[in-house]
Structure 1
């Protein structure tokens, strides 16, 4: 089980990323636009840098929905490998079964 503070930090990052997503995309469009002047691009870069760091989606870490484990997480299921295996053995994940050969 991950520390509660780490899980709470990830929740905070998700909220921030959601709040600033629209503003970040608008600023990035201005920066990428070739028809915009140099001064406007610089102003957009400065505005983007002034946003909170945790507002970037890349700052988020995939974590297990049950335990909060940061490593060994299958994004498709949102579960760590241990919990995915347990759920699979109980038959809770459709289409998966234990490998045997």
Structure 2
């Protein structure tokens, strides 16, 4: 189980991303359309005023059952540990644990 504070931090980041996504895309388009470097710098200062945690790259994929961030399988939305346990108990259809 992941630390509760890390899970809550990711929830907070999701909220910030949804809150600032429109503003961020508008500013990014203005940066791309800037004609000279000085204009580009002034628009980038506006982008820097938006919270850092509102950037989608700061969001971490987490297992919805355990909260673990590493060993995450996108297909299932689970970590490798949970997939293994659920595979043993035949809870995931079509998944069979290999043994040799």
1:66 is matched with 65
How many angstroms apart in 2 are the aligned matches of 1:93 and 1:72? 17
How many corresponding residue pairs?
A: 99
Report whether the alignment pairs 1:3 with 2:12: no
2:80 is matched with 81
TM-score by length of 1: 0.84
* Structure 2: runs of 5 or more not aligned: none
How many angstroms apart in 1 are the aligned matches of 2:5 and 2:61? 15
1:24 is matched with 24
> Shift in Å at residue 100 of structure 1?
4.0
* Structure 1: runs of 5 or more not aligned: none
Bigger mean CA deviation after superposition, 76-85 or 86-95: 86-95
TM-score by length of 2: 0.85
